[in-house]
Structure 1
Amino acid sequence: MTNKIVITGESGFVGKNLSKYLIDNSFETEFLSLRNLNWKVNTSANVLIHLAGKAHDVKRTLNASEYFKVNTDLTKELFDAFLDSEIQDFIYFSSVKAVADEVENILLESAPADPKTPYGQSKLKAEEYILSKEIPNTKRVFIIRPCMIHGPGNKGNLNLLFNVVKKGIPYPLASFHNERSFLGIDNLNFLIKEVIENKQVPSGIYNFSDDEVLSTNDVVRIISSVLNKKNKLIAVPKGLINSISKVGDLVKLPLNSETIQKLTENYRVSNKKIKAAIGIEKLPNTARQGLENTIKSFIEK
């Protein structure tokens, strides 16, 4: 049977990469633009993947209501349309930020949700709506919570670190050791394909992340290695860094408290539940391989 898949959010790098991967694996895909106020879901499809959403605003220029209008209200409308259709599977891309902005231990799907930002809160509201509905036995509903996704076309924090290393600027925070989960686009694509094809995977909430965690120091080393440059990790004492960050807060320097927190905090995400559901022990790519692929795509631009 042909798997016909409708995808929202085709303009994002996840949408572009995922649709190409699915087409390469003999799936039929089509895009649905929710910007068109008269949008209608193709009811002859088998799967509806909802990627469209208002992304996390690092510059904090967006009004909170924008997040709820797009991430919550549009998702509700789309989910209602799914329930009224013959489509079997609904895959909603939420975020680990719908649960926690900071993670002390390892984030599991069962963790109580306490998002602090409008982005995370709007994603959680959409999740709560989906979970409040009764799902027919003929349908499956997946809430996917990815951690930081990277891949070709990604312009996030990795790009900033890439430019620091490329320009030969020393990275001064080597005295901080942290552990972060990442999600390479190739692993994401693989997991979505497995969920679609394996009808034994039950509805539910699933974290998506690579198998291994990496420190920011590891990421700098990987970027340096791919660029064939000597890594310039400098372990400036933590006390001195914290003093500099306070000055940075006052005079608006790039090295401020918020930047340092982002670069040095822990954020570990468990992927055990999804791997158990599809019956695998390891994902196709290690976290290092995924990062190397992403960094190579930056060089090829």
Structure 2
Amino acid sequence: MRVLLTGATGFVGRGLLERMSALANLELVATLRRPVPGFPESVVNLQIPGIEPNTDWEKGLEGIDAVIHSAARVHVMHDTSFDPLAEFCRVNVEGTLNLACQAATAGVRRFIFISSIKVNGERTASGAPYLADAQPAPTDPYGISKMEAEQGLRALAAETGMEVVIIRPVLVYGPGVKANFLSMMRWLYKGVPLPFGAIHNRRSLVALDNLVDLIVTCLDHPGAANQTFLVSDGEDLSTSELLRRMGAALGKPARLLPVPSRLLEVGAAVFGKRDLSQRLCGSLQVDIGKTRELLNWTPPVSVDDALRKTAKNFLEQHAK
């Protein structure tokens, strides 16, 4: 099988690159914006200036059986674009559909699109997880752009016969994770007291290894054709539980203060950190029953094993 991977230098893309470059009977073509030192010699690299509405993909699609499209304009906390939705749609919708249309014309059999749980929404009531086939309810430009890309891909599949697989990950963590998850590890490592001891929310997360395993499964599994899947570790945690278990993985017991979640939410609103408060105090759960049943898939890595692997990398890279 010959596979084209976009976004090979991103967080998810690097995980896919590591896993897939070691697979027998698979030839991998990865897109790069510029040469990358130390890139695996077994991987064909193709320089592409960007995921634009007019990007020419002809050379990259020669002989390709499947595309894994993980490149995107990603969600940012404080977008300074004049029109954020237009910018997201230019890359995530128009750029994606341009690639997919050329893929269908080139005879690509399957197109795997890495979407986002933000297509479903931002928050769930505890015990009421999102379902893969529920009505989408995105609330920000990034989520809207991913939803519109999904809609366009489904229409293209119906028109051309190219199989489309859509995967909506929740928060992905693993070695090399950035943003809030990295900040959390830094707080724990330094022994900073954190006001999250009374948070009883439920959040689904997915280890990078589990997400990569599902994506690779979807390359040729007959049950994946033209389906939408949610993915998680299969075990939901409260913020308090996550901090305690991450602290244990780091060898730094979490110092958690029992501050009521309502007080934290009010304080966050005062300081303009409402989005961060929602992630720390609110619930966001997904039901991966469809993923398990249609693909006979189970997350191969446990939460604690994934946290230990993430912590090991952090200690090697940051705890100096």
**With structure 2 as the length reference, what TM-score do the two structures score?**
0.85
- Equivalent residue number for residue 93 of structure 2: 72
Of residues 270, 285, 290, the one that matches 2:306 is: 290
Matched pairs, number: 292
Partner of 2:111: 90
Counterpart-to-counterpart distance in 2, 1:258 and 1:169:
22
- For residues 167-212 of structure 1, the C-alpha deviation after alignment (integer angstroms, 9 at most, x for no partner) is 1111112112111111111111111222224234332111111111
- Alpha carbons 1:181, 1:209 under 8 Å: kept: yes
* Inter-CA distance 239–268: structure 2 relative to 1 (3 Å threshold): closer
Change (3 A) 1:240 1:210: closer
Q: Which amino acid aligns with 2:29?
A: E
Give, as a single letter, the amino acid of the residue that structure 2 aligns with 1:94. S
Q: Indicate whether 1:102 and 2:123 are aligned.
A: yes
Instruction: Give the C-alpha shift of residue 120 in structure 1.
Output: 0.4
**Equivalent position SS for 1:133:** helix
Structure 2 residue 282 is the aligned partner of structure 1 residue 268 = no
- Could you tell me which runs of 5 or more consecutive residues in structure 1 were left unpaired when the two chains were aligned: 250-255
Paired position in structure 1 for 2:256: 233
TM-score of the superposed pair, with normalisation by structure 1? 0.90
Q: 1:175 to 1:111 in 2, by over 3 A?
A: same
Aligned to 2:23: 25
For the residue of structure 2 that corresponds to 1:285, the secondary structure is coil
> Which range is displaced more, 62-71 or 114-123?
62-71
Q: Percent identity?
A: 28
**Alpha-carbon distance in 2 for matches of 1:193, 1:246:** 41
Distance 1:200 1:223 in 2: 35
Shift of 1:137: 8.7
Aligned partners of 1:120, 1:275: CA distance in 2, in Å? 24
Equivalent AA in structure 2 for residue 174 of structure 1: G
| Structure-1 separation of matches of 2:19 and 2:157 | 32
1:146-175: per-residue Cα shift (whole Å, max 9, x none)? 111112222022101111111111111211
Q: Which residue of 1 aligns with 2:57?
A: 39
Task: Identify if the C-alpha distance between structure 1 residues 276 and 259 changes in structure 2 by more than 3 Å, giving closer, same or farther.
Answer: same
CA distance in 2, matches of 1:154, 1:91: 23
In the TM superposition, 1:201-212 aligns within 5 A as 201-212=224-235
Equivalent residue number for residue 4 of structure 1: 2
- 1:56 corresponding residue in structure 2: 75
Query: Deviation of residue 87 (structure 1)?
Result: 1.4
Distance 1:57 1:221 in 2: 27
Unaligned 5+ residue runs, structure 2? 33-47
User: Could you say if the C-alpha distance between residues 97 and 244 of structure 1 is closer, same or farther in structure 2, counting changes exceeding 3 Å?
Assistant: closer
Residue 172 (str. 1) matches residue 195 (str. 2): yes
1:15 counterpart residue number: 13
| CA distance in 2 between partners of 1:242 and 1:201 (Å) | 40
1:154 maps to a residue whose letter is V
The residue type paired with residue 270 of structure 1 is: D
**1:296, 1:119 → 2: CA distance?**
32
Find out whether 1:198 has 2:217 as its counterpart: no
Q: Distance in 2 between matches of 1:174 and 1:153?
A: 26
Please give the root-mean-square deviation of Cα atoms over the aligned residues, in Å.
2.0
Q: Secondary structure of the equivalent of 2:253?
A: coil
Equivalent residue runs for 1:114-153 within 5 Å = 114-135=137-158, 139-153=162-176
CA distance in 2, matches of 1:242, 1:154: 25
